[in-house]
């Protein structure tokens, strides 16, 4: 089940404002306009996040959201977003155009850059969405909102740089151990297939990785079941 309401006046408004100010590092002028135009959604585990009719910037207040992208008919898990993380339901070209930025670089035409991400709740989650056009307008009026949009984009860049670093420099065993360290709560409730998809492995390949790590003692073996007479 998914429910949505205007953010302004809800019990989540103060939390959302504090989260935005933490990202920007300063108080936000024009907050009332932002709150009046934003929505807060409560999404049950397993439910998709509606795409809507306009590009939005989403902020996770609680829970975990899975971000996915489909390229050449194959679905990929792009990220897991938790409290304080940002998600855009648009692609880089469209986002740049709305911010009035140039889009004349060839990277803007790559399959990934042109793909729209979709999302679903990995667990019961609370998210706040704000129209990107409004954020762009606020950023043109107030340096604080320009600071916020810049900081939000830098967070997205930093996350993807981190993912790139893992794929380029880490072995499959190291990537799996990093996943366990970064998402301990998620790892305990995810299927091997989901973990494999996130790490860019096949389920069989992940099983081999887990087996090698257990043999080395890097991760514990599953608890044995005692049979009683």
Q: Is the same domain home to 116 and 194?
A: no
Q: Tell me, yes or no, whether 88 lies in a domain.
A: yes
Q: Is the same domain home to 164 and 179?
A: no
Q: Binning pLDDT at 50, 70 and 90, where does residue 227 land?
A: very low
CB atoms within 10 A of CB 220: 8
- Domain boundary residue, one of 168, 188, 208: 168
CA neighbor of 55 nearest in space, from 130, 141, 140, 149? 130
Q: Is the same domain home to 142 and 47?
A: yes
**pLDDT of amino acid 23:** 96
**pLDDT of amino acid 228:** 44
Residue 139 maps to which CATH number?
2.60.120.10
Q: Tell me, yes or no, whether 9 lies in a domain.
A: yes
Q: Tell me, yes or no, whether 31 lies in a domain.
A: yes
**pLDDT of amino acid 223:** 64
Q: Is the same domain home to 187 and 136?
A: no
Q: Is the same domain home to 139 and 67?
A: yes
Q: Binning pLDDT at 50, 70 and 90, where does residue 131 land?
A: very high
- Domain boundary residue, one of 168, 186, 201: 168
Q: Is the same domain home to 205 and 112?
A: no
Mean pLDDT for the chain?
90
Domain of 76 in residue numbering reads as 3-168
User: How many angstroms separate the Cα of 123 from the Cα of each of 50, 64, 191, 208?
Assistant: 16, 6, 14, 28
Q: Is the same domain home to 68 and 179?
A: no
Tens digits of residue pLDDT in 138-181: 999 999 999 999 999 899 889 989 999 999 999 999 999 999 99
- Domains in the chain: how many in total? 2
Tens digits of residue pLDDT in 44-54: 999 998 876 68
**pLDDT of amino acid 224:** 57
Q: Binning pLDDT at 50, 70 and 90, where does residue 110 land?
A: confident
For residue 8, count CB atoms less than 10 angstroms from its CB and return exposed for 0-12, middle for 13-18, buried for 19 or more: middle
Tens digits of residue pLDDT in 183-208: 998 888 888 999 999 999 999 999 99
Give the whole-angstrom CA distance, residue 169 versus residue 36.
45
**pLDDT of amino acid 52:** 66
- Domain boundary residue, one of 127, 142, 168: 168
Q: Tell me, yes or no, whether 139 lies in a domain.
A: yes
Q: Is the same domain home to 180 and 214?
A: yes
Q: Is the same domain home to 213 and 115?
A: no
Q: Is the same domain home to 35 and 63?
A: yes
User: How many angstroms separate the Cα of 171 from the Cα of each of 48, 56, 177, 228?
Assistant: 32, 36, 10, 42
């Amino acid at each position: 089940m998914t429910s949505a309401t205007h953010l302004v006046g809800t019990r989540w408004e103060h939390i959302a404002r504090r989260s935005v100010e933490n990202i920007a590092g300063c108080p936000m002028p024009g907050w009332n306009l932002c709150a009046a135009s934003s929505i807060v959604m409560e999404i049950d585990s397993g439910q998709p996040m509606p795409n809507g009719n306009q590009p939005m910037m989403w902020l996770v207040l609680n829970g975990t959201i899975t971000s996915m992208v489909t390229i050449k008919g194959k679905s990929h898990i792009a990220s897991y977003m938790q409290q304080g993380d940002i998600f855009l339901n648009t692609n880089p070209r469209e986002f740049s155009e709305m911010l009035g930025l140039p889009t004349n670089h060839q990277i803007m035409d790559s399959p990934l850059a042109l793909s729209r991400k979709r999302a679903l709740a990995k667990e019961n989650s609370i998210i706040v969405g704000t129209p990107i056009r409004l954020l762009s307008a606020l950023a043109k009026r107030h340096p604080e909102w320009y600071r916020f949009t810049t900081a939000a984009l830098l967070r997205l860049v930093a996350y993807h740089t981190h993912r790139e670093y893992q794929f380029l420099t880490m072995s499959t065993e190291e990537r799996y151990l990093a996943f366990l360290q970064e998402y301990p709560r998620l790892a305990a409730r995810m299927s091997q297939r989901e973990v494999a998809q996130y790490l860019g492995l096949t389920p069989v390949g992940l099983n081999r990785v887990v087996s090698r790590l257990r043999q080395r003692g890097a991760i514990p073996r599953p608890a044995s079941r005692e049979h009683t007479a």
